[in-house]
Amino acid sequence: MNTSTRYKPIELQLSHALTKKENNVIDELEHLFPRTDFFFEKKPSSLLFHVNQLDVSAFQTMVQDLTKKHHLSSPALFTELLTLIDDIKSYGVKNKKRLYVDYNLERKVRNRKQKETERGMFFYARDHEFNPENNTFPQEFTNKIICGDSEEVLKHLPENSVDLIFTSPPYNFGLAYESSPDGIDWNQYLDKLYTVFTECIRVLKYGGRIVVNVQPLFSDYIPLHHLISQFFMDQKLIWKGEILWEKSNYNCKYTAWGSWKSPSNPYLKYTWEFLEIFCKGDLKKEGKRDHADITDEEFKKWVVAKWNIAPEKNMNNYGHPAMFPEELAQRVMKLFSFEHDVVLDPFNGVGTTTLVARQLNRNYLGIDISEEYCKKADKRLNSTRKKK
């Protein structure tokens, strides 16, 4: 049998000959699981575990049960095996089993790099004129909430000084924001929004990211997420991707809107919002490895670009009509920034972005035109502490 292509080998070095109890555990494992999943190969100084696919949770449970059943006083061999299995980060998943061999065979593209070059990867952003030299964020703006017009405040910041911009601008739906108009003429709204975003691009570091949480206005047939994305692409930013924030049927009741039971003009319902993600100059962001605070499980879960997160439930407590939940900001910051990075929200509202930045040991600047919202954002900051 050619095991090199059908199985992935995991080698465990032996400090002693296998004991009778260890052999009993190995034999029972091979009996309980099909050989198409795995098999063991015993050698004088090592034990090879050849694995093709595995229900890791079931395997872990069975190993633990069998080591207890056979009274293994030192199950170190099997503990090491479980650790080595868990350390394998590249695999597919099918029917609860991790696939370690040929899981990407159908998606494999030959000469991928050459074909990407020939096609012109992010061709729309290749002739940018961004300065690759980054600057230090000024101390007088560090960890501050500033009440003012973002367009004017941002002009006081040096270019290339912010690591991550995460924001959710007013959607122009006609919501009751405390002091800024919502529901104005679309051209007027977009002109102002693009002016602020132009300043955001200027202050964003080379390799920095901007993430915009946005919802289209379906009733006006305005694909706001597409308009914003096109603006950033026109400004030569690289489209990193799009995350679907699934809010689990929130604000989606069954009604007879549109043409009821007719193809004439059905009204499409939605339960989600979008996070549009862009990079300035380069897809890679520089940062120290030990300042990455995302866990293995978080990374594997969150790079799947559909996030099921319940909407914010405490909006009435803060008097704000359109807050996003803290978990949304936590995921964005841990996936797209390092600890000690500078996070900016130019539409900070009552301060969810700045609150989470402080909790996650990021530096921050929050700007909002509403004095009342800024006071509430400051109050929230004063009630939390930085992560140690």
Whichever domain contains 183, its CATH number is 3.40.50.150
118 in any annotated domain: no
Same domain, 190 and 291: yes
Same domain, 87 and 159: no
Q: Is 59 exposed, middle or buried (0-12, 13-18, 19+ CB in 10 A)?
A: buried
**What is the bridge-based pairing of β-strands 363-368 and 342-345?**
parallel
Between CA 328 and CA 333 the distance in angstroms is 9
Same domain, 76 and 209: no
Same domain, 75 and 213: no
| Displacement of CA 315 from its chain's centroid (Å) | 24
Same domain, 229 and 302: yes
Same domain, 324 and 281: yes
**Please, which residues have CB within 8 angstroms of residue 133's CB and are 6 or more apart in sequence?**
160, 206
Same domain, 183 and 75: no
Same domain, 299 and 362: yes
Q: Count of residues for the chain? A: 388
Number of structural domains (the chain) is 2
**What is the bridge-based pairing of β-strands 272-279 and 204-214?**
antiparallel
Residue in 180, 154, 166 with CA at minimum distance from that of residue 212:
166
Residue in 200, 180, 195 with CA at minimum distance from that of residue 346:
200
pLDDT confidence bin for 109, thresholds 50/70/90:
low
Q: What percent of the chain has pLDDT over 70?
A: 88
Same domain, 291 and 373: yes
Domain boundary among 56, 77, 99: 99
pLDDT confidence bin for 176, thresholds 50/70/90:
very low
Same domain, 143 and 24: no
Between CA 115 and CA 365 the distance in angstroms is 41
Confidence (pLDDT) at 1: 46
Per-residue model confidence as pLDDT tens digits over 345-371: 999 999 999 999 999 999 999 999 999
Question: Across all residues in the chain, what is the average pLDDT?
Answer: 88
Domain boundary among 79, 99, 119: 99
pTM: 0.71
Same domain, 135 and 22: no
Per-residue model confidence as pLDDT tens digits over 30-43: 999 999 999 999 99
Same domain, 66 and 167: no
Domain that holds residue 311: 131-253+264-382
